[in-house]
Structure 1
Amino acid sequence: MRPLARLLFATWLCFVAMASLAADAWTELAKPGAIVLFRHATAPGVGDPQNFRLDDCSTQRNLNEQGRAESRRLGEQFRQRGVAIGAVLSSQWCRTRETARLAFGDRVRDEPAFNSFFGRAADDRSAQTERARRILREWKGPGVLVVVTHQVNITGLTDHGAMSAEGVVVEPTAKGPFRVVANLQP
């Protein structure tokens, strides 16, 4: 019975820790100039097909119903908590745009600095990541800056990954990767 009790206690501690991280995320998002980077919601697969075209969603990997539900939940969480949103930036990929629009409505603005660079040369990645860093460092509010982007971009900016529809609340640093202060799950 003791091993079962320890397992149950450990499980309970994990839930308490996860709830604490989420609570911390909402506290962080209430601060002036807050920034959250979201990975697009669930879009089955990896990368994009060979015939991928940015201007044609039918050639891209797109959200499935689970991804659409995750996106709607994200927006609902922000509305329920009364989070003031200052701006919503999105990669130009259809899955990021759809995630952002389902969550945050028509206020979404395309920002190519947050486009995926999956499979691109290191020099291209570095230049694009630096453009994204500049945008984030310039944000002062009012409200939260919400960015919907891709896992490779989040890793490039923070040295941390993100699951589908996961939010990473960040603080700018003087140089290098942004500091992750909290995570949000849909």
Structure 2
Amino acid sequence: MQRRALLIATSAWPWAARADDAVAARLAAGGVVIAFRHALAPGTFDPPGFRLDDCGTQRNLNDEGRAHAQRIGAWLRERRLSPAAVRSSPWCRCVDTARLAFDRADPWLPLGSPRAGSEAVHDAALRELRASLAAVARSERRFEVWVTHQFVLTALVGGHVASGEGLVLQAGAGHQPTLVARLSVA
């Protein structure tokens, strides 16, 4: 019985390496977006009266979140993967995640938190995200990074996404995002 447990435990490591290799290969092939939920920013929601132009009024990354963002960038650099674009929600925790990971961030309102606008604004943002994903899908050997919020990722593909987790997305039928793979960098 102990031997069987040991075989199962040791077989998990090669499986994780193969999963990482598969994600890296899919990114290198291009035509996809890896959409990250921002790294750890403790709490829920922004305080009342927050402003996008003042990070001091928002929920921000903590030390663990900043270190995690740096590890995400290191993971891609170690695999010689360089995104063609790094787009970010304009919220500071997303911009900071992108800059710490990739040394750049192009703030893009469609990636912003839908909690800050009307349903019509949210629906328009989702249409724009789907259209942009379809445009990326037409480009070979090119991928983009998007850094956004749980609410946006749930609206695109459903389900829960952990802080700092990346979803590899491609455009499916009717520009609907299809989840290809998940990436969790420890």
For normalisation by structure 1, the TM-score amounts to: 0.87
Q: Paired residue for 2:113?
A: 116
Q: How does 1:33-182 map to 2 (within 5 A)?
A: 33-106=31-104, 108-118=105-115, 121-139=118-136, 140=139, 143-175=142-174, 177-182=176-181
Q: Paired residue for 1:25?
A: 23
* % same residue: 36
Aligned partners of 1:20 and 1:156: how far apart in 2? 29
Distance 1:12 1:118, change over 3 A: farther
Aligned partners of 2:43 and 2:69: how far apart in 1? 18
Distance 1:5 1:48, change over 3 A: farther
Q: CA deviation at 1:24?
A: 1.3
Bigger drift between 157-166 and 66-75 goes to 157-166
Cα RMSD (Å) of the superposition?
2.1
Bigger drift between 52-61 and 115-124 goes to 115-124
CA contact (8 A) 2:31 2:170 kept: no
State how many pairs are aligned.
183
CA contact (8 A) 2:94 2:147 kept: yes
CA contact (8 A) 2:32 2:133 kept: no
Aligned partners of 1:122 and 1:176: how far apart in 2? 20
Equivalent residue letter for 2:45: G
For normalisation by structure 2, the TM-score amounts to: 0.87
The Cα offsets for residues 108-165 of structure 1, whole Å up to 9 and x where unpaired, read as 2111110011375544332211111111111226532011111111111112331111
**Helix, strand or coil for the counterpart of 2:52?**
coil
CA contact (8 A) 1:22 1:182 kept: no
Gaps of 5+ in 2: none
CA contact (8 A) 1:169 1:180 kept: yes
CA contact (8 A) 2:131 2:175 kept: no
Distance 1:131 1:16, change over 3 A: same
Distance 1:155 1:10, change over 3 A: farther
Distance 1:57 1:183, change over 3 A: same
Q: CA deviation at 1:70?
A: 0.6
**Helix, strand or coil for the counterpart of 1:175?**
helix
Aligned partners of 2:106 and 2:141: how far apart in 1? 17
